[in-house]
Amino acid sequence: MTSDTHFRLAAIQAAAVPFDRDASVEKACHLIGEAGAMGATIAAFGETWLPGYPFFCHAPTGPSTFRAMAEYLDNAVEIPSPATDRLCAAAEAAGLDVVIGVAERDAVTKGTVYCTLLFIGREGRLLGRHRKLKPTFNERSVWADGDAAGLRVHERPYGRISGLNCWEHNTMLPGYALAAQGTQIHVAAWPGREPAVAPPSPTPLWPRQLLLSRAFASQAGCYVIAVGGMRSHEITPERYRELSTIEYSGDSVIIDPRGEVIAGPAQGETILIADGSRQAVLAAKALCDIGGHYSRPDLLRLIVDRNPQERVIDCGFAGRVTPEMWE
């Protein structure tokens, strides 16, 4: 269901195939097709869904840790690559936009991984990527810091879309940068709710995954697809089972521009669906547009450097340096 004023949002809650990029891409393409068959306008996956969240960074370090890190790097996704080509083809075939979390391998050094959100258009092309600005806690042993080059809103026929990873929603300023660009549909990508650290509750209101996603929807006046990943000890390869200390149960939700949950929390592998309208976004922003009329730029302003942060800048001359050059 897609028009200039109405759209259908999908949160794809499923487990990837750990340490297997190709099998995970195949599963993602199948799920994208399913979401398309359900009439989705845009479908989102969780944080580094492809090829999975680096659970091993939270376990005590041992010899198998470094083997897992090397295998994770080997299965990370370069952009562009045959893996992203397949995802683009699946999005085009299904007729929907896709936002998917990937472990992105640096195409130059081949030795660095970023926690990246990849934006794919229904035309079958890459719209952009956002690299997580600051990985959280132990994640910093696996993922490098991102830059703000991808901290952008993407204009689509049905609205403006954006996305952030996990605790980027806890740091406020990245979200404000997107709200100030007028985001209307936002993907909040999470690894998934971690039951082991959450107090028992009949309704999972405790995790920041839900609290911060609802806050973003209310503050930015936009829909939020808060999509969590899934992982269990059972799907962990036996060679890394000793490193599997956390499980994620998903708990994906879809939130309206008032901050109200309109679908979910989801349990198990599923595709969560909710319908939205541009009118609901306009009503929320007319009341409170924090990047516009509900701001005080004369008092408070945000400075964003969206230049790619290059590590090596070549300042050499193409030819021989001669004394005449300095005259």
Rounded (5°) CA angle 35-118-289: 90
Predicted confidence (pLDDT) per residue in 259-280, tens digit: 999 999 999 999 999 999 999 9
Predicted confidence (pLDDT) per residue in 193-231, tens digit: 765 555 555 554 457 899 999 999 999 999 999 999 999
Listed in sequence order, the residues at least 6 apart from 140 whose beta carbon sits closer than 8 Å to its beta carbon are: none
Please tell me which residue in 57, 71, 104, 132 is annotated as part of the active site: 132
Is residue 110 included in any domain, yes or no? yes
Indicate the number of domains in the chain.
1
d(CA 121, CA 127): 6
Give the residue-averaged pLDDT of 50-54.
96
Predicted confidence (pLDDT) per residue in 156-198, tens digit: 999 999 999 999 999 999 999 999 999 999 999 999 876 555 5
Is residue 153 included in any domain, yes or no? yes
Res. 310: pLDDT tops 80: yes
Please tell me which residue in 57, 88, 115, 166 is annotated as part of the active site: 166
Q: Which of 178, 270, 250 is nearest to 216 (CA)?
A: 178
CA dihedral angle for residue 192, residue 196, residue 202, residue 208, rounded to 10 degrees: -50
Is residue 118 included in any domain, yes or no? yes
CB-count exposure of residue 198 (10 Å: 0-12, 13-18, 19+): middle
- Give 154's Cβ-side CA count (13 Å radius): 25
- 115 in active site: no
d(CA 114, CA 128): 14
Full domain range(s) for residue 136: 6-326
Res. 322: pLDDT tops 90: no
Contact 8, 262 (CB under 8 A): no
CATH of residue 176: 3.60.110.10
pLDDT score for 194: 65
- 293 pLDDT band, cuts 50/70/90, is very high
% residues pLDDT > 70 (the chain): 92
d(CA 307, CA 66): 33
pLDDT score for 196: 53
Contact 188, 225 (CB under 8 A): yes
Is residue 319 included in any domain, yes or no? yes
Predicted confidence (pLDDT) per residue in 56-75, tens digit: 999 999 999 999 999 999 99
pLDDT score for 315: 82
pLDDT score for 206: 52
pLDDT score for 325: 46
Please tell me which residue in 29, 47, 104, 168 is annotated as part of the active site: 47
* Beta-ladder partners of 6: 277
- 47 in active site: yes
Res. 319: pLDDT tops 60: no
% residues pLDDT > 90 (the chain): 85
Is residue 1 included in any domain, yes or no? no
Contact 253, 213 (CB under 8 A): yes
Is residue 12 included in any domain, yes or no? yes
